Structure 1
Amino acid sequence: MSIHTDAQTIIQEALTACLPDQAVRRALEGRTFGAGRVFLVAVGKAAWQMAHCAARLLGDRLEAGVVVTKHGHSRGEIPRCAVYEGGHPVPDENSFRGTRAAMELVENLTAEDTVVFLVSGGGSALFECPLIPAEELSHLTQAMLACGADIVEMNTVRKRLSAVKGGRFAQLCAPARVFSIVLSDILGDPLDMIASGPAYPDQSTCAQAQAVAEKYRLPLSPQARALLQEETPKALDNVETVITGSVRELCAAASAACRRLGYEPVLLTDQLCCQAKEAGSFLASIARTHQDTQKSLAFLAGGETVVLLTGQGKGGRNQELALSAAQGIAGLADTLIFSLGSDGTDGPTDAAGGLVDGSTKDRLEAAGLTIHQVLAENDAYHALDRVGGLIRTGPTGTNVNDVAVALIKR
């Protein structure tokens, strides 16, 4: 098989292995939830897939449910559940509508009732009831994305501007019990940061939130500044949490696929956190160093990079990583680098990521494009699309960060 066929196989097998169905099944099997009613709330990019599995397992025990996922990520109806699709990475009115439905669902519950709460990445935008005007929240979210703030910094601020983040949704559910099943998309699996921790005690402080605001000079109104000084719940006595998946599983699945195809896999890190174009340059350097190898090699890096916006183009962190790598591997034979988001959507695009090889740079230049200029404009999507370098999987049903792989085939 060609190196490109190998890459597609690795992508497919890694994503399939990380679908949340088995994890949700393991968490729910054998649980009876007592004599009270059982409700279901699922939020995030993987919400539909998680809820579909949970509803099937709960069967007639399920009273009602609300699912809030990203536009295009729903795959149909789920018994007894209302499904909403909202905006990501910036919340929209559909996000607010779905969140209000979930809040109404958990009103007036008793201590005998249980809320099965399914959480996945993307919930910070999709599960939102803002305490400031929606337009201000949108501008603030866009400002944090543009300045390169990482997900922990963003969520430290956002949870203080929300009626459901930072443990506040669990308070709304009380006195009912909350059984939370979490699919992690943040390095180190900090439960208070995944989807901004709607049902987990907040470990961040007001001082940290204010420091983020000052660091990036965020455009905060007096109302927002006042909210940053209000502390979030630091203890919750009605919640049990199980974490079901993370980027480590994604890297392990990709490594297994590489090995099966004859590559010797080397996991560089599952904690990648830097600018996307720097990560791409680093992976390309690794690939150049090992060109004299007599065996096929695969170098893997899992995590989540960031993009510093300097232009007005279209793209995502994985596309920018791949395009940056194309510069470094230009002219190398049987060498390929790809990077993709496990949820199937990279930034505000229909692509999961990007894939480049030793010929990508020349093909871009033949089309009148230079990598440096494209990166300056943050327009990786259109550039990679011109040379067939976009990875398109469609929404995958999972969300456990990103994985980048450098392949050298011998």
Structure 2
Amino acid sequence: MFRPLSLFIGLRYSRAKRRNHFISFISGVSIIGLTLSVTALITVMSVMNGFDYQLRARILGAVSQATISGVGSSIQDWPHALKIAKADPRVKGAAPYVEQQALVQGAGSSGAIVRGIVPSLEPQVSDFNKHMRDGSLDTLQPGKWNIVIGDELAMMLGVTVGDKVIVFAPRYRGGPMGAMPTLRAFRVSGIFALGMQQYDSGLALMNMQDAEKLYGLSGPTGIRLHLDNLFHAGAVARHLSDEFGGVYRVETWMQTNANLFKAIAMEKKVMFLILSLIVLVAVINLVSMLVMLVTDKQSDIAILRTLGITPRTVMGVFMVQGLFVGVMGILVGVVCGVTLSLNLPAIAEWIEHTFHVQFLAPDVYYISELPSRLQWSDVGWVAGIAFVLSLLATLYPAWRASRTQPAQALRYE
């Protein structure tokens, strides 16, 4: 079968047993270095993707992907606004809500965001029903004056399901003693654990009608939307703003949490650049191996040149050898990196149970399990960059080999 001469000779050199065992050792080190660097880069990118996905899922489980709010304190004609929002095929769920600040008092006291919801519609736009530790959202019936709070807020208040708490609303009314805040006793009917300290320690849920009475409102303060694709939020917001004609304001999760997700994306890029230096170090070993190989093969190069092989073909021979080593390291690294990324949570759990250590303490970090989410686009980028660096590493040694003069190389042979 016809093959390019440089490819044929280069592969023969790669398969042949070298006389110089030190060069073979450096070649093995280059393969191992590329394998470890590619494995580390893919694994770290997967962990960063896992953190990004978990934070995004947990934050969007408590906040909406898009929110419709009125110019004043409440939306007066909210059923009409709800009907317009649901008419968009990209909107998969919509639910009105009331949200205000309050002071909640039990055995202790703490400030919190009180959100009035419609229990039958809330599962369409949030995941609180999936993270109930005790009780249920269905207990939030109008006139029952029940409340559901986060587990950390319950700990600060010193209460559990069935206990009473007092909610002080920032709504003042006159009395014999002067201006007094509005307060109401509620029974704790449920406790949720979303896994985000911001919400578990500072959010309480009650029925929307109870919240309207507590705060003296005539309607919800907004409508929360769940979309078929969270990245369509900007387009949906622009469409609904045009439909409402400026009467209502539409905000997206990208606007309310933009700084957090931009910081995660920036951190991922910085980690990618830093860890790419590991690949560069492995590639330097490849350069050293090829330079020593060229020196060792001076007589072979001279003989090939006297047989009529062009400098370009000689250059191709050593580029093939360098790329063979590089591709071997990249392929093994990709296999190891993908395997490790897919099994990293299980491996981390086994290490924690075996050695009694904990990588992510739940009282310090939002996420207590080491997440990993493999994206094949990252694998492609890592393999592509490693291949390009390996190709560039072969240029100088191969060019040096092509400049070999046959007469000088064979003078002392």
TM-score range, shorter chain: under 0.3
Larger Rg: 2
- State the TM-score, normalized to the length of structure 2: 0.25
Q: Counting helix residues as a fraction of each chain, which structure ranks higher?
A: 2
Greater length-normalized contact order (CA 8 Å, ≥ 6 residues apart): 2
